[in-house]
Amino acid sequence: MNMLLKIYFNPSILLIGDSLLDYRYVHTYFLDMASTASRLDPDKIAVIDYSWGSREQYTYLDMNRFSENIAIMLDRLGINKGDRVSVLSYNNVEYLATYLAMPKKGAILAPLSWRASYRELAFMIDDVEPKVVIVHSDFQDLLNKALEISRHKPRIVNIEELRGLHREEPVGQYRRASVGETDINMLLYTGGTTGGLKAAMIPYRQVIWNAFNTIISWGLGPSDIAPIFFPFFHTGGWHVTTIPLYIVRGTTVLTKRFDPDEAIEIIERERCTVVIAVPTMFHLISKSPRFKESSFKSVRFFKSGGGMSPHSLVKIYWDKGVKYFQGYGLTEAGPNLLYTPEKDMLNKPMSVGKPGFFVEIRVVRDDGSDAQPGEVGELLVRGPLVFSGYWRRSEETARVFTPDGWLRTGDLFTVDKDGHLYFVERKKFMIKSGGENIYPSEVEEALRSHPGVEDAAVFGIPDPKWGEAVAAVVKPREGIHIDPDSIREYLRGKIARYKIPKYIWVVDEIPKTAVGKTDYMCLKKKYGDATQNV
């Protein structure tokens, strides 16, 4: 059946695959997620891994052996409940198996970003104090440099040492931990809604209810196959698809790093059914020579998150005959918070959907009152799929929650009369110039409509007269020459005069984060003191 997870008349009983589960005790399922899936579907392909240079596949039985052997290894290293285990690696099956071992030991996974500088890495290590860091050989030098200046000195294990553990029957025992839904499953670093590097505490409760929300909303089942293009140090790597798909015993496809040509090849070869990525990734896929010749006939839908897709990009996919819709979430909540019903995907292409199951939302004014339809306000979220707070940062945690338990997302939205939500802007990126609120996304959309512009990013920089001035970087299409004055002339009549960028730089590349989002903080740092065009 397409909708694999169904709620029966008894609202506490869920059907996952062919197993009834009382979700009041759902943490016991998560404690043995690997072994439960292995028992129910031992020979089903759980993971296809391309990260080591060839195609490798692993059954659910293999994955359980893998995680059991890693749990035994961690036990021998002295890992107990609440201890942190960090991984510094590309996505691969060993990384996933390490995650599956966490609930067996009650340990907390604390992924480290291989995109971080050695100083940032040292900060993370001192912050979460992992007992063990599992590292890919490509990042050993980066880790060594970080450890030279870090206060905390963890044990080091090379991830290559875990290769092949799925072939071995577990030898030895380990002390199992009792894990509840309020226990922390993962620490994920994020800029958060308050800015600055901090670790979000992701409890089992959030993982569980986000997974259920995803399974119900998308109709995930054992026949679904999904590639993972987000890195595992990002919430998208785990909670958007990987964990929900594991619960319903679908198939996950792992790659070392995102490459648009390889992405298309894998989608076609593995007959992927669900494809999730950020707009930049979908843009790069659409520009690949393989895109025109690919039918994507196996794909049920493409879903974009981590930023808004311009209407022109949405249209490219719909014109190809495939469903493409937008979503919204954040590390601190979900991340699969909203869902677009299929009947609305085409006629509301810029909507990020309606609230999914197990989540409440409000769009509020600055005074906390509810905004009217069409009025811009901050999105507040409440429900079991909201995080527990920031690791060792009680004051910052208190700032993001209202007294009655609503999470302040820091994102501005409007809602229409039908209840569909539309992302406007990150509140902290909104430009305030001469008393006017300017939303960078609106200016970016106008810039991208220029026939010579490939990509654009808009941000505010200090201005002595207006408080902030509108600044933009634009990347021209290949072989096209553009200059700031011609761009300003193009924008006249398309957007209000005060929204036209005062500063424009034509660049070869726009900086992106590890998951393909525009790196606005990098742009502000680089151009924040600018006084003239270059």
Residues in contact with 333: Cβ distance below 8 Å, sequence separation at least 6, in sequence order = 206, 359, 381, 383, 385, 386, 387, 407, 409
Whole-model pTM: value is 0.86
Q: What is the CA radius of gyration of the chain?
A: 23
Sign of CA dihedral 49, 53, 55, 56: negative
Sign of CA dihedral 511, 514, 517, 523: negative
Taking each continuous run of H as one helix and of E as one strand, the counts in the chain are: 17, 28
Pick the CATH number of 430-527 from 3.30.300.30, 3.20.10.10, 2.40.128.110, 2.60.40.10: 3.30.300.30
Here the tokens at position 20 are: 């009834």
The label of the residue with tokens 């392909």 reads 45
pLDDT at position 276: 97
CB 340 within 8 A of CB 354: yes
| Angstrom distance (rounded) from CA 388 to CA 364 | 22
pLDDT at position 308: 84
**Greatest CA separation found in the chain?**
72
Check residue 333 and report its DSSP letter. Answer: B
Same fold: 25-35+56-180 with 430-527: no
Which of 352, 364, 356, 351 has its CA nearest to residue 406? 364
Which of 240, 180, 235 has its CA nearest to residue 215? 240
pLDDT at position 26: 52
What DSSP assignment string belongs to 462-503? EETTTEEEEEEEEEEPTT----HHHHHHHHBTTB-GGGS-SE
pLDDT at position 306: 85
List the chain pLDDT tens, one digit each, 534 residues: 333 333 333 333 444 444 444 444 455 555 678 988 999 999 999 999 999 999 999 999 999 999 999 999 999 999 999 999 999 999 999 999 999 999 999 999 999 999 999 999 999 999 999 999 999 999 999 999 999 999 999 999 999 999 988 887 887 788 889 898 899 999 999 875 455 689 999 999 999 999 999 999 999 999 999 999 999 999 999 999 999 999 999 999 999 999 999 999 999 999 999 999 998 899 999 999 999 999 999 999 999 998 888 888 999 999 999 999 999 999 999 999 998 888 888 889 899 999 988 999 999 999 999 999 999 999 999 999 999 999 999 999 999 999 999 999 999 999 999 999 999 988 888 898 888 889 998 999 999 999 999 999 999 998 888 888 999 999 999 999 999 999 999 999 899 899 999 999 999 999 988 777 888 888 988 988 765 444
Which of 153, 91, 98, 95 has its CA nearest to residue 122? 153
Strand extents, DSSP E, 120-224: 132-135, 155-158, 184-190, 198-203
CB 487 within 8 A of CB 533: no
Residues in contact with 99: Cβ distance below 8 Å, sequence separation at least 6, in sequence order = 109, 186, 232, 238
CB 372 within 8 A of CB 420: no
Strand extents, DSSP E, 308-452: 324-326, 338-339, 354-355, 360-364, 377-382, 389-390, 407-415, 421-426, 431-433, 436-438
Which of 191, 189, 207, 208 has its CA nearest to residue 199? 189
Check residue 133 and report its DSSP letter. Answer: E
CB 447 within 8 A of CB 474: yes
Domain 25-35+56-180, what fold?
Rossmann fold (3.40.50)
| Angstrom distance (rounded) from CA 131 to CA 114 | 19
What DSSP assignment string belongs to 182-194? TSEEEEEEE-TTT
151-190 burial: b if 16+ Cβ within 10 Å, else e: eeebeebebeebeebbeeebeeebeebebebebbbbbbbb
Which of 285, 223, 164 has its CA nearest to residue 2? 223
Check residue 113 and report its DSSP letter. Answer: -
pLDDT at position 436: 86
Show me where the domains of the chain are located.
Answer: 25-35+56-180, 430-527
Helix (H) or strand (E) holding 22: strand 19-22
CB 138 within 8 A of CB 90: yes
**123 phi-psi bin (left φ>0, alpha ψ -120 to 50, beta other):** alpha
